[in-house]
Structure 1
């Protein structure tokens, strides 16, 4: 697939399997869509950074559903378990459906409908040594259009540092390293959407807010896209003045920022901002609230519910729902 459901972003157009960049859970989406340092009990965060696997996730299953614009839907399942000998493991499956499309022959006769979908199946492993946790993920990525398929092997690797006494974590992740085993018929192999991310999360003492800042696409400085067909502004003489590259705007596109208001153990409110998304998904005359995301985490009994509303542009938004529970405690109660 050459376009991601969020829109035809400039970075996505250069790679295959761009859906690998999409956030899979409500928490990650609420934190600006990219976060490698938010360490908590949410199993879906293993997709953000495998080094985020930690004891709070042990035995937890998370099911996530995303409703994008039109008929585009995404479903994710993630489960984490600990082995004393081989480390802490996470398994994850995510499935993205673009809906059904009409098919026609050369004469315009209907041939019925066909589906377009993409999915990954992966296993993550992490190991903690002192203040550092090291993690890696290996997964198979599949893209399917009308019965034709493209396959790729993908790997993520990361490390997380957790301060022993303060609520501070820092993370580094290298994501989507791999190889396209088989491209679509008639197409050539392309690069995967490599992304090197570095971030930190901190909750100041005596303050009920947890802040995160994440830098992404560190392997590539210039991620600023200028549409060559876009109309420029007119100067005083009536001459068209085309937009030029800006150091400040390009720098800002490398960062996402977020904050989580901690209202006890059972309620969090989250807000995130992604400048790259805002700039690339803005309309010609306005940006609206593109790039902003708002989320809430609520615990009810033994269940945790996460919801996020992420604004794409004036044309639509996406809704994220994640439900998680500790299965170990469920089985122990039955015994």
Structure 2
């Protein structure tokens, strides 16, 4: 036990140089990488850094969450972000040996048709915009309770006739103690460089440092989630002169409560203070910042759905399917 905590603490220290040295301006590109890809993620408030059984898609949030228990599952999800904006995500992986696993994933977001106008406000027809990312992932069990993961992303963005390319890395650790129902996760996300920008200025991907904590109750079917995100120093200082310290701090936290009747059924509700604050300025209602999700597992498939609000004009929803694909034998 003490050895696991020492390894976890040492691994977290590896993030500190990146946390302090790679500070960037508040302007970032490829923000679609921060949009949730799974019902569990949305139901937890928008981020999932900690262990969720049988959900391989949360590896998009923390590569250390993909392991032998989720290998062999083909994950698919569809997100209706808002009117005309849609996202699809897929992930699949296999064991490498008794400790390692690999996976390959794809994320794509299409923004629909938009009208183009020249500087004199004369219509020039329509155009489309698309973002996509292809990623390869490898995770390794450092001990029976601690796992590390690394993901390499090739990122592409297109707006009308303009294109941009970038390369980014996710690095994460996950500590899970099933007997105590305790899960701790940390991830450095989207740390990379823009190879080709839309213009001469190359805006870097929106890198971030995130920490997560989850705890299940021993005598009740509930699990509580707390996630801190936006710990990139420049992001954390953003709007610092406009808000009180407490409001600014809450913008970097999400809360989630999960109810699981058994291993086959779950319900979750989450709260994102940043969404609530932002939607309040856009005439949002009492439910702004809240999210709701649920799922069902069968021997051969797992389905899930979640809903939240990113804009006062309508709800956003995601549905997912994970199914067994191949067998559980090692391929190497």
TM-score, normalised to structure 1, is 0.84
Residue of structure 2 aligned with 1:208, choices 202, 216, 221: 221
Q: Is the 8 A contact 2:209 2:229 kept in 1?
A: yes
1:23 aligned residue: 36
Residues 182, 265 of structure 1: alpha-carbon distance in 2 compared, 3 angstrom cutoff = same
2:274 aligned residue: 276
Report whether the alignment pairs 1:82 with 2:95: yes
Alpha-carbon shift at residue 224 of structure 1 (Å): 5.5
Q: Name stretches of at least 5 consecutive residues in structure 2 with no aligned partner.
A: 1-23
Alignment partners' CA distance in 2, 1:127 and 1:163: 16
Give secondary structure in 2 for the equivalent of 1:188.
Answer: coil
Alpha-carbon shift at residue 282 of structure 1 (Å): 2.1
Alpha-carbon shift at residue 311 of structure 1 (Å): 1.8
Report whether the alignment pairs 1:127 with 2:148: no
Higher RCO (C-alpha 8 Å, min separation 6): 2
Compute the RMSD of aligned alpha carbons: 2.5
Residue of structure 2 aligned with 1:158, choices 140, 159, 172: 172
Alignment partners' CA distance in 1, 2:25 and 2:288: 17
Q: Name stretches of at least 5 consecutive residues in structure 1 with no aligned partner.
A: 1-10, 227-242
When Rg is computed on C-alpha atoms for both structures, the one with the higher figure is 1
Q: Is the 8 A contact 1:142 1:149 kept in 2?
A: yes
Residues 12, 270 of structure 1: alpha-carbon distance in 2 compared, 3 angstrom cutoff = farther
2:294 aligned residue: 296
2:193 aligned residue: 179
Give secondary structure in 1 for the equivalent of 2:82.
Answer: coil
Alpha-carbon shift at residue 265 of structure 1 (Å): 1.6
Residues 104, 164 of structure 1: alpha-carbon distance in 2 compared, 3 angstrom cutoff = closer
Residues 50, 69 of structure 1: alpha-carbon distance in 2 compared, 3 angstrom cutoff = same
Residues 13, 327 of structure 1: alpha-carbon distance in 2 compared, 3 angstrom cutoff = same
Alignment partners' CA distance in 2, 1:155 and 1:125: 12
1:148 aligned residue: 162
Alignment partners' CA distance in 2, 1:146 and 1:312: 25
Alignment partners' CA distance in 2, 1:161 and 1:201: 10
Q: Is the 8 A contact 2:282 2:312 kept in 1?
A: no
Residue of structure 1 aligned with 2:259, choices 240, 256, 261: 261
Give secondary structure in 1 for the equivalent of 2:69.
Answer: helix
Alignment partners' CA distance in 1, 2:120 and 2:311: 37
Alignment partners' CA distance in 2, 1:316 and 1:285: 12
Q: How many residues align?
A: 304
Alignment partners' CA distance in 2, 1:20 and 1:32: 16
Report whether the alignment pairs 1:98 with 2:96: no
Alpha-carbon shift at residue 330 of structure 1 (Å): 11
The farther-off stretch of 205-214 and 82-91 is 82-91
Residue of structure 1 aligned with 2:247, choices 234, 246, 249: 249
2:63 aligned residue: 50
Q: Is the 8 A contact 2:91 2:105 kept in 1?
A: yes
Residues 80, 27 of structure 1: alpha-carbon distance in 2 compared, 3 angstrom cutoff = same
TM-score, normalised to structure 2, is 0.85
Q: Deviations over 1:126-153 (max 9, x none)?
A: 0002121010000111110113210000
1:72 aligned residue: 85
Q: Is the 8 A contact 2:89 2:105 kept in 1?
A: yes
